[in-house]
Chains A and B, each alone.
Chain A
C-alpha cells in the first residue's frame, strides 16, 4: 500500500510553453516502452523476486520514479512545458 503526497518531486515553473517538447515528453509516458508500463512491470515483478534487495528496488523504483514521472507529465501537458524532461532524471537511467 502507498499514499499520495500533495507535492511535486521538484518545483516546476513554466515560463515558455513548448508544445514540441510536451509532445516528446508524453511519448515517453504511455505505450509499450513508456514509463507507465515500466512502473507496472516493476511493481508486478516484485512478487516473484527471490531476493529481498530486488523486491526493495523494484518497489521503490516502480512507485516513486514512475509515479513522479506520471505527475510531472500529467502536470506539464496542459501547460506545455519548457523544462528538463523526466528522461534526464538520474533515476530513469535504471529503466534503460
Chain B
C-alpha cells in the first residue's frame, strides 16, 4: 500500500510541475498577466509542498536534496526503470 502513496505523491508533483511550466512559458511572452502569475505561484507552492513530502518519504528528487547517512541519490530506481528497480 506504500506504493500507492508514492505514486499519488509523484503524480501530484508531475501535475503541479507541468502546470507551473506551462504558465512559465506563457509568462515569458506575457510577463504582466496577473492571472497567469497567480496561477504560477499557486502551482509552484503546491509542487514544492508535494516534493517536500515525497522526498521525506522516498528520497531525493534533485541531487541537491541528496545526502544524509548515505548517498541515497544513486539508490532506488531511476525514472525510466519503472518497477524493475
Partners in one complex: yes
Chain A contact residues, CB within 8 Å of chain B: 3-12, 14, 53, 56-57, 60-61, 64, 71, 74-75, 78-79, 90-91, 94
Contact A57 B18, beta carbon cutoff 8 Å: no
User: Chain A: which residue is nearest B24 at the CB level?
Assistant: A60
Contact A6 B62, beta carbon cutoff 8 Å: yes
Contact B25 A75, beta carbon cutoff 8 Å: no
Cβ of B43 within 8 Å of any chain A Cβ, yes or no, is no
Q: Is the interface of A mostly helix, strand, loop or mixed?
A: helix
Residues of chain A contacted by B82 (CB below 8 angstroms): 12, 14, 79
Contact B80 A53, beta carbon cutoff 8 Å: no
Contact B28 A57, beta carbon cutoff 8 Å: yes
Contact A61 B61, beta carbon cutoff 8 Å: no
User: Chain B: which residue is nearest A79 at the CB level?
Assistant: B82
Contact pick for A60, options B11, B18, B21, B62, CB 8 Å: B21
User: Chain B: which residue is nearest A58 at the CB level?
Assistant: B28
Known: A4-B62, A57-B29, A61-B25. 12 other contacts (CB 8 A): A3-B63, A5-B62, A7-B13, A7-B61, A7-B79, A8-B79, A11-B10, A11-B14, A57-B28, A74-B80, A78-B80, A90-B22
* B58: min CB distance to chain A, Å: 10
* B57: min CB distance to chain A, Å: 14
Contact B61 A5, beta carbon cutoff 8 Å: yes
Question: In the complex, A10→B13 CA distance in Å?
Answer: 9
Most buried by A among B7, B63, B82: B82
